[in-house]
Structure 1
Amino acid sequence: MIGLKQGDSGEKVAYLQELLIAAGHLDKNPGADGEYGTETTEAVRKARAAQGSTKPGTPITGTAGGQVMKEFVEKVAGVK
């Protein structure tokens, strides 16, 4: 999932969407369609904000960066 962003598509995006749905940040309808559009971007922003993934003065973006999303996946999956 490292470096996924709006405009990307495919299996990795669908997996990210499934995680976001499971965490309650993305609506189940239309679900994990594998297209990283505006809804997925907003869901990533919500997920990042919910986990406090920002440094003071740094904006929360809708990009699914490596370390941030690794921590998110671990949190959703309940593993560390």
Structure 2
Amino acid sequence: MFAQVTDFLKDDAFIHHVLERTPESSSHWENYFVLHPEHTAYAEEARAVLQAPADVACGLSADESLDLKKRILYTLIAKSV
């Protein structure tokens, strides 16, 4: 369940969708937001964090930010193998 922005930032499927959108991921998230429109604002903020330049403050601690970057890189590397 996505109850806040950080929930989207911790979700590999959402991260992948934002960074490497596919027709399948677009369909999945469009359907999700039809069923859960109350989560749209959280997702938009999370999308902005993921697409923001590295020097923009996003409310994550330094450790959380580093962990997020590592997870994103790991996910992208795993997908390309």
Q: Which TM-score tier does this pair reach, normalised by the shorter chain?
A: under 0.3
**Larger Rg over CA atoms:** 2
Higher helix share: 2
- Normalising by structure 2, we get a TM-score of 0.26
